[in-house]
Chains A and B, each alone.
Chain A
């Protein structure tokens, strides 16, 4: 399995990274957000025709703003809308803005709260009735 390298970057560099990668022949593959009790970041993945990828990790926070890369790669639009709806991160300058109606979930910003893991209670062995 190939080792995974996530280049760290900051949100102000995102558009420049996207433009640089586009010139090198990469295209936008995907982006997603990860939120844990201790940190929150967005991962961008760019892909080339020979299947090699380059990934970047950008720290982010709920209610923070990140510049949108949809001006460089239109494909990023759906991913950014999804992250902004589920995590509450605002992307400035999105080419198509669904305004929070992409999924219309029952619970808004559902992924922004990170619950403590459910502790499984040990199953008590039932007493066998004679």
Chain B
């Protein structure tokens, strides 16, 4: 068992989201759901983060930003797409400015459905992401014990 999934740090970015999923992500970090007691921090710096939490669909202006943040993160990294919009475009997939979900730009590891996704589902998704993170670390041939 490695130390990597013990205290994952998140970087959160709102692509064209309506904010519903974003305030639920923030609600996970505040009292009642409070994942900070497990060591999960919402850090603003992509170079310090393990998990990239994205909400919202992708439009023309967002593509460069999402790619930029993803490229700056260190391996191993996990991408969690939260909400129906991040998965496939949601209600807005037929809009002229929406090219689809986040997986049109970067590879996604975990999809959390919902509109807006509930905090319980988000925490579940992040925990699944931790398993993926550990698997990726193991693939590199290093398993810290």
Contact = CB atoms under 8 A, between A and B. Distances in A.
Q: In the complex, are there CB atoms of A and B closer than 8 Å? A: yes
Nearest to A110: B96
B19 interface: no
- The interface residues of chain B, by DSSP majority, are classed as loop
B30 interface: no
A106 interface: yes
Interface residues of A, number: 6
B63 to A, nearest CB: 10
A50 interface: no
B108 to A, nearest CB: 21
Interface string A69-108: 0000000000000000000000000000000000111110
B96 A107 contact: yes
A106 B59 CA distance: 8
B104 interface: no
B61 interface: yes
Interface of A: 103-107, 110
